[in-house]
Amino acid sequence: MQIRTRLTLQFIVLVAGILLLSLCFIYFKFRQMAEQEFYVNLRSKALMTAEMVLHDEANMQPLESLASEQDTTQHPLPFRENIVIFNAQMKRVFAFNHAAAPFPERILTSFKSGLEERFQDGKLMGIAIHHKSDSGLQYLIVAESIFSTEDLGKLRNILIITFFMGIGIVALGGWIYAGQAMSPVARIVNQVDNIIPSDLSARLNLLNSHDELSRLVQTFNRLLDRIQFAFRMQKSFISNVSHELKNPLSVIISQLEIALDKSSRNESEYRETLTSVLEDTRELNEISEKLLQLARIHSDGGNICFESVRLDEALLQTRATLLRLHPEYQISFDIVGAPEHEDQLCVMANESLLRSAFLNLMDNGCKFSPDKRVASTIIFGQNGQHRVEITDHGPGIPEQDLHLVFQPFYRSAQSIHIRGSGIGLSLVESILRLHRVALDVVSEKGIGTTFKLNFPKNI
User: Largest alpha-carbon pair distance within the chain?
Assistant: 163
Model confidence band, residue 214 (pLDDT cutoffs 50, 70, 90): confident
pLDDT of residue 160: 92
Which whole-number Å values give the CA distances from 387 to 241, 337, 347, 433, 458, in the listed order? Answer: 33, 11, 11, 15, 13
Write down the pLDDT at residue 339: 75
Q: Which of 179-188, 234-243, 267-276 has the lowest mean pLDDT?
A: 234-243
What pLDDT, on the 0 to 100 scale, is given for residue 25?
93
Higher-confidence residue of 231 and 416: namely 231
Does residue 136 form part of some domain? Answer: yes
CATH number at residue 279: 1.10.287.130
**In this structure, are residues 395 and 452 in contact, taking their beta carbons and an 8 Å threshold?**
no
Does the structure show a pLDDT above 80 at 143? yes
Q: What secondary structure letter does DSSP report for 74?
A: S
Range of the domain at 290: 198-301
Residue 270 has pLDDT above 80, yes or no: no
For residues 242-269, average pLDDT: 71
Q: What is the three-class DSSP state of 367?
A: helix
The pLDDT of 247-275, averaged and rounded, is 74
Same domain, 293 and 353: no
Q: How far apart are CA 25 and CA 29, in angstroms?
A: 6
Residue 253 CB contacts under 8 Å (≥ 6 apart), including other chains: none
Q: What is the CATH number of the domain that holds 400?
A: 3.30.565.10
Nearest one of 111, 79, 125 to 98, comparing CA atoms: 79
164 located within any domain: no
For residue 92, pLDDT beyond 60: yes
Is pLDDT of 83 > 50?
Answer: yes
Same domain, 256 and 372: no
Position with higher pLDDT, 247 vs 354:
354
**What is the pLDDT at residue 263?**
61
What is residue 253's predicted lDDT score, i.e. its pLDDT? 80
Q: How large is the average pLDDT for residues 348-376?
A: 87
Instruction: Name the domain count of the chain.
Output: 3
Q: Are 129 and 23 contained in the same domain? A: yes
Q: What is the mean pLDDT of residues 439-451?
A: 87
289 assigned to some structural domain: yes
pLDDT digits (tens, 9 = 90+) for 116-129: 888 887 788 888 88
> End of a domain among 96, 119, 153?
153
- 259 and 312 in a common domain: no
Highest mean pLDDT among 149-163, 234-248, 391-405: 149-163
Average of per-residue pLDDT across 167-171: 89
Confidence of residue 130 (pLDDT cuts 50, 70, 90): confident
Phi-psi region of 384 (alpha: psi -120 to 50; beta: other; left: phi over 0): left
Q: Which of 194-208, 396-410, 431-445 has the highest mean pLDDT?
A: 431-445
Last residue in a domain, options 301, 318, 352:
301
Tell me the percentage of the chain whose pLDDT exceeds 90: 8
pLDDT digits (tens, 9 = 90+) for 334-345: 888 877 777 778
> Which of the residue ranges 74-78, 256-260, 263-267, 359-363 would you say has the lowest mean pLDDT?
74-78
188 by Cβ neighbours in 10 Å (0-12 / 13-18 / 19+) ranks as middle
User: How many beta carbons lie within 10 A of that of residue 384, not counting itself?
Assistant: 19
Q: What is the pTM of this model?
A: 0.48
In a domain, 189, yes or no: no
What share of the chain has pLDDT > 70, as a percent?
79
2-6, 224-228, 268-272, 293-297: least confidently modelled range: 293-297
Same domain? For 313 and 287 the reply is: no
Q: What is the DSSP letter of 105?
A: H
Considering the domain boundaries, does residue 170 fall inside one? no
Among 132-141, 176-185, 317-326, 389-398, the range scoring the smallest mean pLDDT is: 176-185
Average pLDDT over residues 122-138: 84
192 assigned to some structural domain: no
At 449 the three-state DSSP class reads: strand
Band of the pLDDT at 24, cuts 50, 70, 90?
very high
In a domain, 356, yes or no: yes
User: Is the Cβ–Cβ distance between 172 and 21 less than 8 Å?
Assistant: no
pLDDT of residue 158: 92
Residue 56 pLDDT greater than 80, yes or no: no
Residues 359, 268 within the same domain:
no
Residues 283 and 358 in one domain: no
- Based on the domain organization, do 18 and 148 belong to the same domain? yes
The verdict on residue 39 lying in a domain is yes
Residue 28's pLDDT is 92
Q: What pLDDT score does 434 carry? A: 83
